[in-house]
Structure formats: structure tokens, C-alpha cells
């Protein structure tokens, strides 16, 4: 394979992945194990996943397996679990799943393993990423649409056709997936990721300057707000809630204060496109991946700026005259709430409000990292789930790698056994992790049940 072909393949894999006070750094220490409640469900009948490493006292079991390209995951108050899956345009070898791209999972005998697995949603085209439960309905991304399926009490699979809540979402170019979340008031926040890496005049080409103004910001590179209860809405630039967010791979509402948070995939290819400014080691460590507290009207800087974790500041992007240290217009952009290593690809976000884990986890955030493709010459990273502690409703202290070992022997996008793509907290306090490489769902509990 030529160097060019390899780079194109890696870029395709990356596109498929999508995506104030800063809490930064990592710790290998797990939080204090005191104050935990029993998860209330036995893991004896489920397969314990020894390959997944966890803090002392936790166990991961295989809740379901071989489900296809399982993207994000959500849960229902009665314990049912739902997945959105997709058929990646970058991997046409995969079959279209029989029965539909949506998967419903139920554990009827409470042994920690799904014994009812039902597919539905054949009308969702090539599937999607975003999925959420709100009140009595399941909301799913389906190509350019967000659909709503009504769920009757006790019903695992919806018995009626879906309503179209939003249509006209943009699916051209990179970052065509639309993760979303819904707040308690019924506001539907949808990611519209950038179609390019850095809004260059010639995308991903060495030395190509950036567009000014960046025209795609009118419809991409931000978060849009709609109503979760109104049908027939159409994507509209006027509905933009926040801008300058390259690709929000995970969105969630912090139940402590109702604030919207999002995980941002940082830009790529600093050394490859700007070798006079950056060396390859710098390119492997820049920019940081970010956890953002998203406010209405906020501008987080993309494509004009990126976040330098060493300098703890946003700096001007080279496409717009940056030299690696110049701040320029970035002084007026909003910063991250917490930062993580470059290129790890944070694809999922969930706040822990359960009572089944030790008390030190309550109120914090779990983030699923899909894994990097472009950290050379440094080792590839991510392919894990981290925990970001919160205190007083805000990120506090270093993140901890909570679950690792998903990739197996190879942390490469083409050969990793599993790649975390979704995280969700069940009504019993268990943490569910989905994977779009092997199609597996893990259930993580504390105390072995």
C-alpha cells in the first residue's frame, strides 16, 4: 500500500469515527470504593469479560454480542436497552442487517445477559448514531432525519410507524453522523459536525489556507436546537444553538444543573499539512480532545482556533495565520471544561446519577473514546472509557481511565477487536458500553452483583 493510500484509508477511518477552568491530565487511581450500593443483579450467568480491565471491585460482562456496527446506546426506566447501528460508507463489506438498524435488548431473567434481542427500523435507510429515550418514546437518528417511536408500557419493540421530528440534516462530507440529546424540557440538541478538517480552501491539502469567513459554519460545526415534541421540523441555520464545535461526538445533559455538555473531536494533520510549523510529535499531541459546557450563542473557536493543552489556551490555527503560539482572535473564544489526549475520538458521553457505584462516581461523567488513527510516531491511544470526576456540578481533578482492553493486541482502527462508541447508565445503575467494531455490548457493575 502506498503512503498516500494508507493516509487516505486512515482519514476514511477517522471520518467514520465521527467527533474557563480546565480539568486536565490523567490518573491511574480509581476513586474511593466506599459508599457503594449493590447493583441488584447477578452476573453469575453472564460471561465475565476478563480482557476488559476495570478498577478493583468492578466486573464487565457481555450483555449482547455480534450486533453489527453498534453506535450509541440508551436505556429505558424498565431496564430495556436500545442501540442505533449503521452501515458505514467506508466499510461496504458489511451486510445490511436483516430486520433493521435498531436493536432492542431485554434481560427477562435478570442474569446480566440479554435474552430477548429484536431488530426493527428497516425504514431508517443506512442507520445512524444518535439515540435517546424521552418520556414514552424512543428517538433515533436515521440518515438526514430524527425519528420518534412511541413505546407502550411493557412494549419492547414499537408497534407503530415512527413520526419524523426533524428532517433535512446534512449528511455530505465528513462527520455526517448526528449524535443528540434531549433535556427535561424537551429541547432536542443535535450535532451538525464539520464537513472538512479545518475549513481549508482545499480540504486536507498541505499549505491550503482557510476560508474566511468559513462558509460551512452556517450549517455545520455546531449544535442545533429543536423541539422533541413537535413533528415536521426542518433543519434550519437559524436554529443554531452554539458554533465553533468541529464535531460533537457525544452530548448529554448534566442532571445536577441541566447544563448541556458535549465532547469535541479535535482537528487533524498539523504536521502533515504544516511541516514548517509543527513536527510529528507535536502533531500527535495537538490539539486536545475536549469536554465542553455548551451555552446558548457560545463560540468555541473552530476552525480558526484549537486548544493547546500544554499552554492551556486556544491558539490560532495555521490555516488562519497561526504559528503554534499566537493567540490572536482566539482570546475571545470559549474554552473547554476538561481536556484529554489528542485524537482519542470521544464518541460518547453519559453522566452517572445512579447509586450502584461507589459514591465518588456520582455526578461524574463517563466518556467513550473510539480510538485514534493519527498519533504516530506516538502510540495510538483511546479505545477506552474514561471517568471525569465532577464536583459542584463542574469537572474537577484528573480524568481516570476506567475501562480499557477493548482493542485487544492492536490499537489500530482497522484491526482493533472492539472500539467503544456508546455509553449509557441503566436504571439499576449499571454502565453499558457499545462497540461498533465487534458489535458487542458490555454491562459493567460494582461488587459482582
Distances (CA, A) of 151 to 9, 78, 167: 40, 12, 21
Least confident interval from 3-17, 46-60, 251-265: 3-17
DSSP string, 23-71: B--EE-PPPP-TT----SS--TTSPB-TTSB-STTEEEEEEE---SSEE
Confidence check: pLDDT of 320 > 90: yes
| 62-110 pLDDT tens trace | 999 999 999 999 999 999 999 999 877 666 666 667 889 999 999 999 9
- Torsional sign, CA 222, 226, 232, 236: negative
| 17-37 pLDDT tens trace | 443 444 545 554 444 433 333
CA distance 31 to 34: 9
Domains of the chain and CATH, by start: 3-446 (2.120.10.30)
Percent of the chain whose predicted confidence (pLDDT) is above 90? 83
Q: How confident is the model at residue 47 (pLDDT cuts 50, 70, 90)?
A: confident
Q: At a CB cut-off of 8 Å and minimum separation 6, what does 345 contact? A: 14, 17, 18, 19, 249, 265, 289, 369, 370, 371, 372, 382
Where helices occur in 306-426 by DSSP H, the ranges are: none
- Give yes or no for a contact between 214 and 233, defined as CB atoms under 8 angstroms apart: no
CA distance 18 to 419: 12
Query: Residue 162's pLDDT is what?
Result: 97
Average pLDDT over residues 168-189: 96
Average pLDDT over residues 342-359: 97
Query: Residue 136's pLDDT is what?
Result: 95
| 228-263 pLDDT tens trace | 999 999 999 999 999 999 999 999 999 999 999 999
Confidence check: pLDDT of 10 > 70: no
Count the Cβ atoms, other than its own, within 10 Å of residue 58: 21
- Torsional sign, CA 204, 207, 208, 214: positive
Percent of the chain whose predicted confidence (pLDDT) is above 70? 87
* DSSP state at residue 127: B
Query: Residue 25's pLDDT is what?
Result: 54
Q: Which strands, in side-by-side order, build the sheet including 26-27?
A: 26-27, 399-403, 384-388, 365-369, 346-351
Distances (CA, A) of 139 to 133, 159, 187, 190: 6, 15, 13, 12
Q: Which three cell numbers stand for residue 5?
A: 493510500
Amino acid at each position: 500500500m502506498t503512503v498516500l493510500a494508507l493516509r487516505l484509508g486512515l482519514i476514511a477511518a477517522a471520518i467514520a469515527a465521527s467527533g474557563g477552568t480546565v480539568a486536565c491530565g490523567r490518573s491511574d487511581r480509581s476513586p474511593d470504593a466506599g459508599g457503594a450500593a449493590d447493583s441488584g443483579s447477578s452476573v453469575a450467568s453472564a460471561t465475565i469479560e476478563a480482557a476488559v480491565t476495570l478498577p478493583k471491585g468492578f466486573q464487565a460482562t457481555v450483555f449482547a454480542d455480534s450486533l453489527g456496527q453498534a453506535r450509541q446506546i440508551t436505556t429505558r426506566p424498565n431496564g430495556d436497552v436500545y442501540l442505533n447501528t449503521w452501515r458505514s460508507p467506508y466499510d461496504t463489506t458489511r451486510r445490511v442487517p436483516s430486520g433493521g438498524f435498531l436493536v432492542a435488548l431485554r434481560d427477562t431473567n435478570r442474569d446480566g445477559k440479554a435474552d430477548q434481542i429484536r431488530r426493527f427500523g428497516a425504514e431508517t435507510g443506512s442507520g445512524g448514531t444518535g439515540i435517546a429515550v424521552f418520556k414514552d418514546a424512543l428517538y433515533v437518528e436515521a440518515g438526514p432525519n430524527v425519528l420518534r417511536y412511541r413505546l407502550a408500557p411493557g412494549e419492547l419493540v414499537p408497534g407503530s410507524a415512527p413520526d419524523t421530528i426533524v428532517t433535512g440534516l446534512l449528511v455530505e462530507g465528513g462527520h455526517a453522523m448526528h449524535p443528540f440529546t434531549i433535556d427535561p424540557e424537551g429541547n432536542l440538541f443535535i450535532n451538525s459536525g464539520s464537513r472538512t478538517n479545518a475549513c481549508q480552501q482545499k480540504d486536507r491539502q498541505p499549505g491550503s489556507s482557510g476560508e474566511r469567513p468559513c462558509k460551512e459554519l452556517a450549517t455545520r460545526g455546531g449544535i442545533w436546537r429543536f423541539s422533541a415534541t413537535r413533528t415536521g421540523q426542518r433543519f434550519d441555520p437559524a436554529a443554531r444553538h452554539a458554533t465553533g464545535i468541529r464535531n460533537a461526538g457525544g452530548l448529554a445533559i448534566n442532571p445536577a444543573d441541566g447544563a448541556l455538555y458535549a465532547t469535541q473531536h479535535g482537528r487533524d494533520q498539523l504536521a502533515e499539512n504544516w511541516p514548517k510549523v509543527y513536527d510529528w510529535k507535536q502533531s500527535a499531541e495537538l490539539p486536545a480532545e475536549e469536554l465542553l459546557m455548551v451555552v446558548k450563542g457560545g463560540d468555541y473557536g473552530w476552525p480558526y482556533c484549537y486548544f493547546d493543552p500544554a499552554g492551556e489556551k486556544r491558539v490560532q490555527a495555521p490555516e488562519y495565520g497561526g504559528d503554534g503560539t499566537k493567540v490572536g482572535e482566539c482570546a475571545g473564544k470559549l474554552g473547554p471544561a476538561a481536556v484529554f489526549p489528542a485524537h482519542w475520538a470521544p464518541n460518547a458521553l453519559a453522566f452517572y446519577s445512579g447509586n450502584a457505584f461507589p459514591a465518588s462516581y456520582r455526578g461524574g461523567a463517563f466518556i467513550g473514546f473510539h480510538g485514534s488513527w493519527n498519533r504516530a510516531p506516538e502510540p495510538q491511544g483511546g479505545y477506552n472509557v474514561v471517568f471525569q470526576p465532577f464536583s459542584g456540578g463542574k469537572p474537577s481533578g484528573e480524568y481516570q481511565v476506567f475501562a480499557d482492553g477493548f482493542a485487544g493486541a492492536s490499537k489500530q482502527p482497522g484491526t482493533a477487536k472492539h472500539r467503544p462508541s456508546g455509553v449509557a447508565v441503566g436504571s439499576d445503575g449499571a454502565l453499558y458500553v457499545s462497540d461498533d467494531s465487534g458489535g458487542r455490548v458490555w454491562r459493567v457493575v460494582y461488587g459482582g452483583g
